[in-house]
Structure 1
Amino acid sequence: MEIALVVVVVAFALGFDYTNGFHDAANAIATSVSTRALTPRRALLMAAFFNLLGALLGTGVAQTIGSGIIDVGERPAQTGLVMVLSAVIGAIVWNLVTWWFGMPSSSSHALIGGLTGVGLAAGITVHWDVIITKVLIPMVVSPLVGFGLAFALMVGLLWAFRNANPHRVTRRFRYAQTVSAAAMALGHGLQDAQKTMGVIVLALVAGGLQDDFTIPLWVKLSAALAISAGTYAGGWRIMRTLGRRVIELDPARGFVAETVAASVLYTAAFAFQAPISTTQTITSAIMGVGATKRLSAVRWGVAGNIAVAWVLTIPAAASVGALMFFLLHAVLV
């Protein structure tokens, strides 16, 4: 029974990884597609490849998810596996709801919310210190940093190219966006695929198949392939929101937004092992470059709706995860 449940949990975790890919594909490529730096199909192929590559570059974020949020070892193996399965279902449900409405919410925070909800429902230890320092604080700081850096860098570029030929500058930044979009996709794989790795290892530990939180190679590869496949499937609804509804982007602003967002993602993953939201980071960077036109250039109503989705993500996914735990625990345990 426990082995079968481990298989089910792994399958659902990879399913979440796939939804993460198509839900967050827009993070890496919306700006490049909206400025016509890349065609949608080429952008998706590139994003899928660099998501795959980024997923294999580190395990720090996976360790935080796998061992830092809840202690599944406090309950019997079967209960621990039900907890992990319930958390993943909670995250998948929120991903699908926000995808349906075209809202770029955070898959990362959905997963963390699901884990927190089942931890509270099961009455086990929830590591609030980790949640505060590596989730909540970065959740507030990363968008502010993304907005501020993007605004400052864009102002610097506008000054540096103030006398340049506009058509030539636009053409060059359109080429540069190919690189910045690849960097963004790499950062997305580095951050988001690792979260699925952490969940799978959490299931392996809960099921007694592994004693520590080391990430096996097959886990890395399966998570990397799942997120890249999901990315290639596309996320057109959310791509329209990020690429056009927040602000009409030009290649220079798209390049700056992607470059800043990628830099924040790399810093969070390598320096702090913090599972930050790629969605929040790129959206705030887009707002930052948009504000250099004029504050009214940013459609703050759309931005406000996105912010509401950000705030609701953790409690909503936690509620679904807790509900699923009560239901599945009654049936399976």
Structure 2
Amino acid sequence: MESAALIIVLVIALALFFDFTNGFHDTANAMATPIATGALKPKVAVLLAASLNLVGAFLSTEVAKTISGGMIREDQLSPDIFPPIIFAGLIGAITWNMLTWLLGLPSSSSHALFGGLIGATLVGVGASAIDTGVVLSKVILPALIAPLTAGIIAFAVTKIAYGITRRYDMKADGRDGFRWGQIFTSSLVALAHGTNDAQKTMGVITLALITVGWQSTSNPDPQLWVVFACALTIALGTYMGGWRIIRTLGKGLTDVKPAQVFSAETSTAATILASSALGFALSTTQVASGSVIGSGLGRRGSTVRWNTVGRIMIGWVLTLPAAGAVGAAAALIVVWLGGWGVAVDAVIAVVIILGLFLRSRRDSVTSANAMSEVADSGAAVKVPRKPGPTRRQRRLERDKAGKDA
């Protein structure tokens, strides 16, 4: 009983660390674009996002129920084996989150979690413990539809925004009057992120509590202390700021202007809030990326960097199988070594996390350099510099100055 309690404590601790990585991994979804246009200063943006993530975590538990009472069949879980399997799945998710953060790729923390849990469950329990219907309808299908839908909405809203304001605003800075609209819609995205992503960690912890009999299977709602712990952890992670991914989304996909930001964030918030209400555990990262791409296509003269889009899409495709493979490998160690396997997995997790973190220090990205072109100047668009004098012109000026002297 004592060993089981210790494993549950380890599962909760690792789940909360995943929640923390989810926060700093996904800060970019809400705040990359307003930082890029100068609507918000970097540190103000992440503080605002953290506060709204905290509030959003208390607004809905539908997504948590999808994980704790839908994706995995509790009636086929053994109290002895499944908590270590959850532990192994979390290792897969955290490893992928840390790796993609290091590379600056806005991949899905949600699908990393699902992949890790599915891979570990397949090895430790078997395919019968996974409800494929729920996985397909509430995980896979939204992953395919949500980014496309968000992109189409953002494209349409961008067209409308520029069409309405074109005759009234002839400024070259991309509709400066949209600054407050950017702040509002970005805040809404941060709030929506809390209603969706924080719930996933709540669901994992609740699932662990159910499997060992510390919570009834008839009540998949997360307990109040679980809600508080997950809300605070994701808010802290958000405040830390995932500056590498903020740089990619803010200026790596397209050169965003204020009206585009307003359109993209409006689309992102609407899609996430609707999905949270329906219990769809979609990826806020995919939705935000799709919205930014759609807004880039919607503005005449804007250029989408398709090479970056390709890198991001490869990350999307690899997330589920890659996290699943790591989760399966960690579960295999548990199957082979039993209780000692959890200790071995814990050591491996610490080594991976520290190794990736230390590697990131070689080329640190912070609030000071993530968006240096716009963060330093506070301008939405870089002003073209006037060409300086040529070498011949400078020589003639020197000769003239010498003659005058």
After TM superposition, the score normalised by the length of structure 1 is 0.97
Partner in structure 2 of residue 273 of structure 1: 279
* Pick aligned residue for 1:182 from 187, 190, 196: 187
Distance 2:147 2:78 in 1: 39
Amino acid at match of 2:284: T
> What CA distance in whole angstroms lies between the structure 2 residues aligned with 1:73 and 1:3?
20
Amino acid at match of 1:329: V
Give the equivalent residue in structure 2 for 1:285.
291
- Which residue number corresponds to residue 320 of structure 1? 326
1:19 maps to 21
- Equivalent of 1:3, from 5, 21, 25? 5
User: Which one has more relative contact order, counting CA pairs under 8 Å at least 6 apart?
Assistant: 1
Amino acid aligned to 2:334: L
Among residues 90, 93, 101, which one is paired with 1:91 in the alignment?
93
Partner residue of 1:164?
168
Residue 294 of structure 1: how far off its partner (Å)? 4.9
Q: CA deviation at 1:156?
A: 1.0
CA contact (8 A) 2:104 2:245 kept: yes
Displacement after TM superposition at 1:73 (Å): 4.3
Q: Is the 8 A contact 2:31 2:186 kept in 1?
A: yes
Match of residue 136, structure 2, among 132, 136, 141 = 132
Equivalent residue, structure 2, for 1:195? 200
Query: Structure 1 residue 144 and structure 2 residue 148: aligned?
Result: yes
Q: Which residue matches 1:309?
A: 315
* Cα distance per residue 1:208-256 (max 9 Å; x no partner): 2111312111000100000000000110100000000100101110111
Looking at structure 1, the residues matched to 78 and 33 of structure 2 have their Cα atoms a distance apart, in angstroms, of 47
One-letter identity of the residue aligned with 1:17: D
The answer to whether the 8 A contact 2:85-2:331 is kept is yes
How far the C-alpha of 1:13 sits from its partner, in A, is: 0.2
Residues 56 and 166 of structure 1, relative CA distance in 2, 3 Å threshold: farther
Match of 1:227 among 230, 234, 255: 234
- Using the alignment, how far apart are the partners of 1:295 and 1:118 within structure 2? 47
How many pairs are equivalent?
Answer: 332
**Displacement after TM superposition at 1:171 (Å):** 2.9
Structure 1 range deviating more: 40-49 or 112-121: 112-121
Q: What is the rounded CA distance, in whole Å, between the counterparts of 1:263 and 1:165 in structure 2? A: 27
* Runs of 5+ unmatched residues, structure 1: none
Per the alignment, in what secondary structure is the counterpart of residue 137 of structure 2? helix
Distance 2:30 2:258 in 1: 14
Cα separation, 1, equivalents of 2:170 and 2:271: 29
Residue 83 (structure 2) aligned to one of 81, 84, 94: 81
CA distance in structure 1 between the aligned counterparts of 2:88 and 2:73, rounded to whole angstroms: 15
* 1:208 corresponds to which of 205, 213, 218: 213
The answer as to whether partners of 1:72 and 1:83 remain within 8 angstroms in 2 is no
**How far apart, in 1, do the equivalents of 2:286 and 2:301 lie?**
19
Contact 1:69 1:116 in 2 (8 A): no
Separation of aligned partners in 1, 2:77 and 2:145: 34
Q: How does 1:16-95 map to 2 (within 5 A)?
A: 16-95=18-97
Q: What TM-score, normalized by structure 2, do the two folds share?
A: 0.80
Distance in 2 (CA, whole Å) between partners of 1:106 and 1:12 is 18
Q: Runs (4+) of structure 1 moved beyond 4 Å?
A: none
Q: Deviations over 1:132-182 (max 9, x none)?
A: 111111111101101111101111111111201244973321121111111
The AA in structure 1 aligned to 2:31 is: I
Query: Does the Cα contact within 8 Å between 2:85 and 2:120 map onto a contact in 1?
Result: yes
Query: Could you tell me which amino acid in structure 1 is paired with residue 107 of structure 2?
Result: S
Matches within 5 A, 1:221-260: 221-260=228-267
Q: Offset at 1:72?
A: 4.6
State the shift of 1:78 in Å.
2.3
TM superposition shift of 1:317: 0.7
Quote the residue 1:101 is aligned against: 103
Which AA in structure 1 matches 2:20? Y
User: Contact 2:158/2:299 (CA < 8 Å) preserved in 1?
Assistant: no
Alpha-carbon offset, residue 296 of structure 1: 6.8
**Distance change in 2, residues 1:251/1:16 (3 Å):** same
Task: Tell me the SS of whatever aligns to 1:275.
Answer: coil
Is the aligned partner of 1:113 residue 2:119? no
Q: Is the 8 A contact 2:154 2:298 kept in 1?
A: no
Greater percentage in helix = 1
State the identity %: 42
* Letter paired with 1:226: T
Give the superposed CA RMSD.
Answer: 1.4
Which of the two has higher C-alpha Rg? 2
Contact 1:22 1:233 in 2 (8 A): yes
Amino acid across the alignment from 1:154:
T
- Look up the equivalent residue of 1:205 and give its one-letter code: I
Unaligned runs of 5+ in 2: 340-405
SS of alignment partner, residue 120 of structure 1: helix
Distance 1:149 1:178 in 2: 19
